Structure 1
């Protein structure tokens, strides 16, 4: 059990986070895809109700994703690439 706790503290997800942070955006089609696929903000929590009773409560999805910050950073890099390198109007993705 202590091994699992120390692995979590040392960040066993760190290599994936570092890989996501190191991704370079260098193609307009890739940048457009990422801007469309990654939502601009954290999806809201939902409650599924039946006859005024909550059946299921779904938390905001960003709280469930351990890579949320890195994915949002990818979206930002994509927007910046499209605006700065391609000269596109990125308001379509906002």
Structure 2
């Protein structure tokens, strides 16, 4: 399975963030934390907890790395405040 995914992983790792529009788009599309983790509550009592499932995504590390590169581009190259994305 890993041999099949390797070209896509390599492609994601090779993406260079070269303009602010692209960087902003990546920061908006790739969440800062797993959107699936949550507590399910009923009448103020926690029924159960759904753990973060993002690490099950075979491209998790590459996407987190791409988001980090976009944030670094905005902060270092563009001098923008990135606190809205954190």
Q: Normalized against structure 1, the TM-score is what?
A: 0.72
Determine whether 1:92 maps to 2:84.
yes
Q: How does 1:3-14 map to 2 (within 5 A)?
A: 8=1, 10-14=2-6
Which stretch has the larger CA shift, 79-88 or 59-68? 59-68
Give the RMSD, CA atoms, in angstroms. Answer: 2.4
Question: Gaps spanning 5+ residues in structure 2: where?
Answer: none
Runs of 4+ aligned structure 1 residues displaced above 4 Å come to 46-50
Q: Distance in 2 between matches of 1:91 and 1:37?
A: 16
Q: Which has the larger radius of gyration?
A: 1
Please name the residue that 2:68 is paired with: 76
Question: Gaps spanning 5+ residues in structure 1: where?
Answer: 1-7
Q: Deviations over 1:49-83 (max 9, x none)?
A: 89xxx8xx966341331101100111000000000
Q: How does 1:1-94 map to 2 (within 5 A)?
A: 8=1, 10-46=2-38, 60-94=52-86
SS where residue 66 of structure 1 aligns? coil
